Each structure stands twice: as C-alpha cells, then as structure tokens.
A and B are shown apart, each in its own frame.
Chain A
C-alpha cells in the first residue's frame, strides 16, 4: 500500500511540476493546485498510513497521528488562499498586458 501511495504522490508531483513549467498563467495555476495536492498527500503520509485509526480521544488504542493532520489542514486552507491570489493575479496581468504569458510577453507564437 505504501508503494502505491508513494507512486501516486510522485505522479501527481510530476504532473503538477510539468504544468508549472508551462508558459501561460492558467496551466501554471492548475499545476500549482495539483502540486499542492501532492504536497499535502506527502505531508499527510509523514504520520504513516493508518487504517481505521481512532481520531477522537476516548481511551482507545490505535490513534491516527494528529500532528500531520493539523498541519495539512492549515496547508489546505493556505493553499486555497494562494491559489486564489495567483489566479486573480493572472487575471489582472492579462487585463494589464493583454496576454496571459507568465512573463507578460507581447509576442505570441501561435
């Protein structure tokens, strides 16, 4: 199971990074979102993969590690804030520069 999980994280990372290397803003934003999914999964797995672990403290035995969960929870919300900021920045850039290239270039090779 761990190997499958790791492969999934790796593939999501690779796809996200490929998109962040594109030259247009929207794919880059999508890539960043994808990358943040991968990062969250990675971070989450730091506590190990617990199946049927207890999350509520009631004197039970097998707890899921709460610390990565708390960290990832904040990471998800911050990730949303950053995605929102970047995508609005992309809109603004397009309205100011008339195109959606990440470097604000005028010339399009279409």
Chain B
C-alpha cells in the first residue's frame, strides 16, 4: 500500500500548484513541494526493508483481460532513480521559484513539473510492461508541455514539437516491442519477464523485439542517430533542462535498458547494438560540445555524450560494467543538474549564456565560479570528484571487453578519446565563462544570485565532492542495492579512490593532459572546422516534416481536390468496384426461388416509382417541381410497404413523408429556386454513366438476394414475441424490447439532430425573397380560412388517433414512432394554418426539453431493470383488468415507447417550428412595402436567377 502512495502522491500533487497559486508564489512553492516530499520520505522509509532482501511489490488488477495490472515494485534500481527524480525534482522546484519571472504563470509550470515527476516515478516503479509504457508516454506529453512552456517563442514551440515527434515515435516502437516481449515471455508481468531471459533470447522474434525496444530507449535517451532533438529542447526554461535533460527524462531510456537487462541483455545482438551506439553517441556528443558557444548547447551535447557512455557500459553488460553504468547515472545526474542550474543562474544574472559575450565573471560571481568549476571538474573526471571514479571504472571495463573480438582494443582507445574531449569541453566551460577576460560586455551587470537560488547547486556540488572522496560511504550502499536489482544477485565490489598505478589511471592521465592540450589549441581546431558546412539538425528535421506535410496535402488534393463532387465520385467508384467483384463471383443471378407473378397493381406502382425517380432527377434544375416529383416516390414507397405486408412501415413512411416535404419546402423558400446549369456536358455524361452503373449493380444485387432463400434469425423474434415480449406486433416488440438498445441509440441521434439544427438556426442571416422566380408576390392570403378552421377541428382528432395508435402499438400496427409523427404532423398543421406567432402563443414551451425528456424516459426505463438485478433494458409485462375497459396489458416496454414518442415529437417540432420561426421577423411584402424591398430583391434575384 505504501508503494501505491509513493506513486500516487506526486500524481495528486499536480493539482496542488493550480489550487494554491492564488496565495502567492512562496506559498505555492512550499505547498507544491509537500506531496513529492512526502513521497520521497516514504521511499526513504522503505530502505531498511530493501536491504534485507527482495524487492517490494504491490499489485491490483486493472484490465486483467489485456494483461494490464496496476503493479508496482520498489527495488534497488527503483530506489536509485526515485531518489534522483524526487530529490533533484525538489531542488529544481526551489530553483525555479527564483528563476521564473514574476509575471510568468508559476502554477502552470509547477503543475507540469510535478506531472512530469509523477510520470517518471511511475516509469521506475512500474512492475507491468504496459503500465510502464503508459507512464513512458505520459513523460513524453509532460516534456512537450514543459519544453514548449514559453509558448510565444517559435524556438520553444519547434523544439517541443520535435521532442514530441521523436520520443512519441519511439514510444510507438516501444509499445510494439513491449507487446512482442510480453507475447514471447507469456506475460506482461515484469517479474515473469525478467525471469525468462533464456527463453526470450532463444525466441526467433528476439531481433525484431530488441530493435523496437531499443528504438524506444534510444529516442528517449537521445542516442545517435536520434540525438538531434535534445539540443533543440534547450529552448525550454533552464529548470526544465536541468531536470529533464540531466536527471530524468533522458535517463528513462537508460533505465529501461537497465531494467530489462536481465530479460533481453543476454544476447550478442544486444551487446553489439547497444555498446556501439553508445560509443558513437559518446564521441559525437563530446565533439559537438567542444564547438558550441551557447552554454546550454554545450551542456546538451555533453549530456548526449554522457548518455552514450552509460549506454556503452550497459551494452558491455558485465557485472562491473552494470555497476559502473549505475554509478555514472548517479554522478552524471548530480554534476549535470548543478551545471545546468549554474548556466541558468549565469543567464539570469548576466542576461546571456552566449560564450562570446561572457568572460571574467569570477570577479563579480566568485561563489558561482567556484561551484561551476567544481562541477565541471566532476564532469571532466578529475580525481577526487565523483566523475573520476565512474570514468575509471569505464576505462577498466573497456579494457576487459571482448565484444569486437580481434578489434576490441579499439574500444578503450575510443573511450580515452571521449575522455580527452570531455576534459576539453569541461575546461572550456569553466575557463571561458569565469576566468578568460571577456571580449564583450554582457547585457546585464552580473552579480551573485539570491542565496536560496544557489542552494541547490551548492548541495549538488557538495555531493559530487563527498562521493568523490568517500565513495563507499556515500554511494556504496545505494549502488549495492541497485546492482542487486539488475543482476539478481549481490555483487562483491569495493569503491575506492585509489587503485594503484595501472592502465586505467594512465588513460585518465592521458585524458586530462590531452584535454588540456586540446583546449589550448581550441581556436586552431575551430578554424579548421569552419571550412566545413555543418548541417543544422533542425533544418533537416523541419524539411522532413514539411515534405511529409506537402506529400500528404498533395495526396489529399488529388483524392478530393477540395471538391465534394470529386470525392463523391471516388467513393461511388470504390463502391461500384466492390459491388462488381461481389457479383462476378456468383455463378447465376437468379436464385432458386425464382419470380412471383406480376399483377396490375404492382406494375402500376413500379411504373409510378420509376416515373417519380426519373422525373425528380430530370427536373432537378426546377427545384419545386423536382420536390413534387420526389413526393410521388415517397408516397408510392409507402404504398409498396403496404402492398408487401408491412403496415407499420407504411404508416411511418407516410407520416415521415409529410414532415419531410413540409421541411424541404420551407427550406426551399430560403434557397435559390432554380439550379444554374453549371455542370459541363462531359461531367453530366460521366455522372449519368456512373450512377447508371451503380443502379445496375444495386438492381442485380437486390434481385440476386431476393431470389435466394436465406437463414434468418427472424423465427426467434416471431416465436418469442408473445411469450418473451408480451406483444403481438413483432415489429414493435423488436423495436422496444428485443433491439431496444438500438432504438435508444436512434432516438438519441434524432434528439441530437434536433439540437444541432436548433444551434444551426441560431442567428441565421437569410435571404428573404419577396417573390418567387416568376416575380409573383407570395400570396397575400396568408392563412386560408378553410384550412384554419379544419386544422382546429382536426387537432383533437389527430391527438386522439395518435394516442390510439400509441396504445395499441404493442399488439397492432402502430407504436411510439408512428404516434409521435402523427402528433407532430397535427401540430405542424396548426402552425401552417394559423402562423407561427399564433401557434407559439398557444404552445408556449420549448421543444428541446420534450425531446430530452423522451430520451431520458427511455434510458431510465432501461436503467430501471438494474433495480431488479436484470441487465439493461430488460422488459417486464403483466395483464391487468379494470372495470368498463376490461383486461389489458401493461409492459415496461410501453414506458420505453413513451420515451420514443416524446423524443420523436420533440425532435420533429424542434426542427420544423424553429425553421418556421426564422420567417417571422420578415413577412412577405405587401404592395405598399414593395418599393422598400426592391434593394434586397435585387441581390436575391441575382442569387436565384
């Protein structure tokens, strides 16, 4: 349980700065530090338990079907990293308190920092591969927010985007790798995976899995050739660089390699890939660090170099190499965080971090000069500093490694060369800033930073020195636990400052002397380098991104060309092709059932449908006529349903047809009355051919299906309708009972469409034609008397009919849908006959709540079955008898149907009444107003002409 709290406290801590930022910055910083501090304390309390033996574990099931558990572990490796993450994190919070300007949103910054901290803690504590990956992605997102914190700066945005692209892509590779690893090991549980190293190495999928996982680790830890994002991430505020790019994020890849080492590290491929990548990165980073002039760039490239060093050690993989790698992780985090913070202080107090503008700062910042020099010495590997010890161990291991067989002697030579470069850039960093006389004056007058801003640097430098002098006392215990976690058994080692005169010592001496020499001849080397044109990684990256963007834009343009028509045509061609493929596979079009005989009524109906369809298409330029033709089709479709034994459908189609026609006519009032002739003849021919071809395919498919018998699940519904659903109308029982969930979804869509239309009609600016196309005024007789009186008489009758249809729906044709539509039509008739104002005055309530109430009723009916321990939307029914009426049946499905009814009425009226309202502010003009409307008429006339 304690483990859960360690992981959870920082996560909860994300909210603290947001809530406390209003109480001032000091309060905010203190409050923010509280929860991570508690997590750190909890971690420290676990040390006694850890020294006794095994790792601590905690696990609860999360999504066990997917192999994802909330499984945490705390072993020596986790401890090492947690101390770094939480400890340095707290120091960074203190530092950021002084670093950020007064007007910067400190709450947001702290929240991002703590989010990042929490996700890093999650990575190192995860005892489940997928959980680890989730946290891994969370760090990518948090680092994106942090790098791009200064959102107004282009460099920050680009740097953040680049970091996210590279690490995000790596994260995807890692996911694939982790899934493969889980499949190979048979479980995503880290304990199982770590224990099955031999089986994993023997699996044929090992190489693919290894490459994918390493892609994730290398992108995160900025290994060559993915190192380029790290220097550009320096656009972040310095506390972020100090935290992410010294102690934490870039160490996540290293952590992953160390964590998975027992599972995937026992293979020759691992050794070669990892150690060679590490070596190349070590030299690459060190070389570029030597020639950068921006303080943070130097540090960024040196970080790349040191990460390469650690990777190289992990690749070598011998127990002592693992120890050296872990030791260097600790050392690098301390001196690099100190150096980054120093660079930030210099930037903060001198106003620049450009080496060309700095120099001789020792006079004004003596304490900082001392601290930075000490940290740089640790980075260079000067004796009596912590960097010296881990570098000695590296040299020793490179001498013993057999990885390149006959060429293995190259490794120590390259390592020494890395050491030389590292001494040179460390020397340059300290000397050029503080001791060399400056050529230009910095923009601000430099001075020492506030006492507390310096405190984190002092603490870290103190650690560098203490560990350097008393390594066994200050780091021995921690490293013992950490190596035990990686190797699975205790390693017998002794950390000491002095190992006697031996080859590694000589290599260190060569590195120091060579580095000093190299710095002395630095300007010559730079002149030599200036003959070459360096490529800026950012331009290459941006060019790649742009190429991707333009490439996809071109493809999309080619596909749809910003033209809905072309897009439709492609879509239809694809449909045509798949339909044709389906048809050519069947041997004969007519199936076993054959044709039924045709009678005169059917023939007449079909001819009317065909006539209506073709007339609609042929007259489409004259929109009103086209609409009338469409209504013929609609009516005959209703008759078709009635002819083929589907009375429910016929009723529905009939009422929907009425509503649709009213709607389209209303809409046509606001749209041009005629369509201009703007399709070229070629286009017309193409469209006709395409549409006809599809029509043929559809007709053939339809015929083929109809003439073949099929196995249907309908018998179930027919048999179960009465005993299971309590209704004799199988269609209605399917709608409100068997497939009630579908219907619920459907009325939700209906209500949503109504709401969307309500929004769309909001503040609609419309063209108000004052006359039709022929120039005739709209009828002055707006509300014909006969219609008015009939509609009044019809309303109660229609309501009665709809109540009747609704109630009998379960056993006879009818139901909520049809009843709702009839009610809606009756009300709309009133609107049409008496005008919107009149109707609105009498139906003075909005229809949105009606639709929503309908959906809610249906949902609640469904939820009600939970109260009786039944699944969602289980129905119940019973028979009751009342005097006078006799026996009748009540079913919960009726309540559900009531919801359907309300939703249909509400949505339909919402659509039509709102559309009708649009017309009310303007009226058809009368003779006297005609001249006023001339101006609007001239614009709309052009539109519709």
In the bound complex, what is the Cα–Cα distance between A44 and B638 (angstroms)? 12
Encoded as 1 (CB less than 8 Å from any B CB) or 0, chain A from 87 to 104 comes to: 111111011101110110
Pick the contact of B616 from A20, A30, A91 — CB < 8 Å?
Answer: A30
Inter-subunit contact B690/A8 (CB<8 Å): no
Within 8 A of B (CB), among A60-107: 63-67, 69-70, 72-74, 76-85, 87-92, 94-96, 98-100, 102-103
Inter-subunit contact B734/A2 (CB<8 Å): no
Encoded as 1 (CB less than 8 Å from any B CB) or 0, chain A from 26 to 60 comes to: 11011101100110111011111111111111100
Chain B residues within an 8 Å CB radius of A37 = 633-634, 637
Chain A residues within an 8 Å CB radius of B908 = 80
Pick the contact of A21 from B623, B690, B750 — CB < 8 Å?
Answer: B690
**Max chain B C-beta neighbours (<10 A), residue from A1, A69, A83, A100:** A69
Inter-subunit contact A57/B698 (CB<8 Å): no
Inter-subunit contact A88/B757 (CB<8 Å): yes
Inter-subunit contact A51/B596 (CB<8 Å): yes
Inter-subunit contact A74/B729 (CB<8 Å): no
In the bound complex, what is the Cα–Cα distance between A6 and B203 (angstroms)? 57
Given A15-B613, A19-B616, A81 and B907 contact (CB-CB distance below 8 Å): yes
Given A70-B734, A78-B750, A3 and B663 contact (CB-CB distance below 8 Å): no
Pick the contact of B656 from A34, A38, A58, A77 — CB < 8 Å?
Answer: A77
Give the number of residue pairs across the A-B interface with Cβ within 8 Å: 316
Within 8 A of B (CB), among A10-31: 10-27, 29-31
Chain B residues within an 8 Å CB radius of A11 = 609-610, 613-614, 695, 699
In the bound complex, what is the Cα–Cα distance between A27 and B664 (angstroms)? 11
Chain B residues within an 8 Å CB radius of A14 = 691-692, 694-696, 698
Pick the contact of B645 from A50, A70, A88, A99 — CB < 8 Å?
Answer: A50
Given A73-B735, A74-B743, A90-B671, A9 and B623 contact (CB-CB distance below 8 Å): no
Is B644's beta carbon under 8 Å from chain A? yes
Inter-subunit contact B712/A67 (CB<8 Å): yes
Chain B residues within an 8 Å CB radius of A40 = 637, 653
Pick the contact of B610 from A8, A29, A92 — CB < 8 Å?
Answer: A8
Encoded as 1 (CB less than 8 Å from any A CB) or 0, chain B from 615 to 629 comes to: 011001001001100
A85 vs chain B, min Cβ distance (A):
5
Inter-subunit contact B649/A65 (CB<8 Å): no
Pick the contact of B675 from A13, A27, A47 — CB < 8 Å?
Answer: A27
Inter-subunit contact A58/B728 (CB<8 Å): yes
Inter-subunit contact A19/B698 (CB<8 Å): no
Size of the chain B interface, CB-CB below 8 angstroms = 115
Interface segment, one of B17-25, B108-116, B714-722: B714-722
In chain A, what residue has the closest Cβ to B686? A21
Within 8 A of A (CB), among B695-709: 695-700, 702-703, 705-707
Inter-subunit contact A87/B663 (CB<8 Å): yes
Is B586's beta carbon under 8 Å from chain A? no
Chain A residues within an 8 Å CB radius of B594 = 2
Is B435's beta carbon under 8 Å from chain A? no
Chain B residues within an 8 Å CB radius of A17 = 572, 690-691, 694-695
Chain A residues within an 8 Å CB radius of B141 = none
In the bound complex, what is the Cα–Cα distance between A85 and B713 (angstroms)? 34
Inter-subunit contact B728/A57 (CB<8 Å): yes
Inter-subunit contact B620/A30 (CB<8 Å): yes
Is B943's beta carbon under 8 Å from chain A? yes
Inter-subunit contact A88/B712 (CB<8 Å): no
Is B904's beta carbon under 8 Å from chain A? yes
Inter-subunit contact A65/B811 (CB<8 Å): no
Is B842's beta carbon under 8 Å from chain A? no
In chain B, what residue has the closest Cβ to A92? B760
Given A10-B696, A47-B714, A22 and B679 contact (CB-CB distance below 8 Å): yes
Chain B contact residues: helix, strand, loop or mixed? helix
A52 vs chain B, min Cβ distance (A):
7
In the bound complex, what is the Cα–Cα distance between A95 and B6 (angstroms)? 58
Inter-subunit contact B667/A87 (CB<8 Å): yes
Inter-subunit contact B656/A80 (CB<8 Å): yes
Interface segment, one of B254-262, B473-481, B762-770: B762-770
Inter-subunit contact A44/B667 (CB<8 Å): no
In the bound complex, what is the Cα–Cα distance between A12 and B695 (angstroms)? 8
Chain A residues within an 8 Å CB radius of B617 = 15-16, 18-19, 31, 34
Inter-subunit contact A56/B641 (CB<8 Å): no
Chain A residues within an 8 Å CB radius of B562 = 103
Chain A residues within an 8 Å CB radius of B761 = 88, 92
Inter-subunit contact B699/A55 (CB<8 Å): no
In the bound complex, what is the Cα–Cα distance between A88 and B677 (angstroms)? 23
Inter-subunit contact B718/A4 (CB<8 Å): no
In chain B, what residue has the closest Cβ to A89? B760
Is B749's beta carbon under 8 Å from chain A? yes
Given A34-B613, A44-B641, A6 and B699 contact (CB-CB distance below 8 Å): yes
In chain B, what residue has the closest Cβ to A2? B706
Given A2-B596, A2-B703, A109 and B678 contact (CB-CB distance below 8 Å): yes
Inter-subunit contact B756/A85 (CB<8 Å): yes
In the bound complex, what is the Cα–Cα distance between A77 and B280 (angstroms)? 67
Pick the contact of A18 from B634, B687, B911 — CB < 8 Å?
Answer: B687
Inter-subunit contact B703/A3 (CB<8 Å): yes
Given A4-B603, A14-B692, A56-B811, A50 and B718 contact (CB-CB distance below 8 Å): no
Is B660's beta carbon under 8 Å from chain A? yes
Chain B residues within an 8 Å CB radius of A25 = 671
Encoded as 1 (CB less than 8 Å from any A CB) or 0, chain B from 629 to 652 comes to: 010011001001101111111001
In the bound complex, what is the Cα–Cα distance between A67 and B594 (angstroms)? 22
Is B324's beta carbon under 8 Å from chain A? no
Inter-subunit contact A72/B649 (CB<8 Å): yes
Encoded as 1 (CB less than 8 Å from any A CB) or 0, chain B from 655 to 697 comes to: 0100110011001101110011111000000011011101111
Given A15-B614, A76-B649, A88-B761, A55 and B691 contact (CB-CB distance below 8 Å): no
In the bound complex, what is the Cα–Cα distance between A41 and B637 (angstroms)? 8
**Max chain A C-beta neighbours (<10 A), residue from B676, B677, B713:** B676
Inter-subunit contact A21/B749 (CB<8 Å): no
Inter-subunit contact A51/B644 (CB<8 Å): yes
Inter-subunit contact A27/B626 (CB<8 Å): yes
Pick the contact of A66 from B626, B703, B717, B746 — CB < 8 Å?
Answer: B717
In the bound complex, what is the Cα–Cα distance between A3 and B603 (angstroms)? 11
In chain B, what residue has the closest Cβ to A75? B746
Within 8 A of A (CB), among B729-786: 729-731, 734-735, 739, 742-743, 746, 749-750, 753-754, 756-757, 760-761, 764-767
In the bound complex, what is the Cα–Cα distance between A51 and B644 (angstroms)? 5
In the bound complex, what is the Cα–Cα distance between A25 and B761 (angstroms)? 17
In chain A, what residue has the closest Cβ to B699? A10
B816 vs chain A, min Cβ distance (A):
10
Pick the contact of B700 from A6, A78, A82, A109 — CB < 8 Å?
Answer: A6
Inter-subunit contact B603/A88 (CB<8 Å): no
In chain A, what residue has the closest Cβ to B596? A1
Encoded as 1 (CB less than 8 Å from any A CB) or 0, chain B from 526 to 564 comes to: 000000000000000000000000000000000000111
Residues of B with Cβ closer than 8 Å to A? 562-565, 568-569, 572, 593-598, 602-603, 606, 609-610, 613-614, 616-617, 620, 623, 626-627, 630, 633-634, 637, 640-641, 643-649, 652-653, 656, 659-660, 663-664, 667-668, 670-672, 675-679, 687-688, 690-692, 694-700, 702-703, 705-707, 710, 712-714, 717-718, 721-722, 728-731, 734-735, 739, 742-743, 746, 749-750, 753-754, 756-757, 760-761, 764-767, 811-813, 817, 821, 904, 907-908, 911, 915, 943, 945
Known contacts A10-B698, A55-B646, A88-B667; 10 additional CB pairs below 8 A are A1-B598, A10-B700, A15-B617, A26-B668, A37-B637, A41-B640, A47-B712, A77-B817, A80-B660, A98-B943
Would you mind naming 26 contact pairs between A and B with Cβ atoms under 8 Å apart?
Answer: A2-B596, A6-B700, A11-B610, A14-B696, A15-B695, A19-B620, A21-B687, A23-B679, A24-B672, A24-B678, A25-B671, A26-B671, A26-B675, A27-B620, A27-B675, A31-B620, A33-B634, A33-B660, A34-B613, A40-B653, A63-B730, A65-B714, A72-B649, A73-B648, A76-B653, A83-B664
The 10 A-B residue pairs whose C-beta atoms are closest, nearest first, are A10-B699, A14-B695, A53-B645, A6-B703, A66-B730, A64-B645, A81-B753, A18-B691, A15-B617, A70-B734
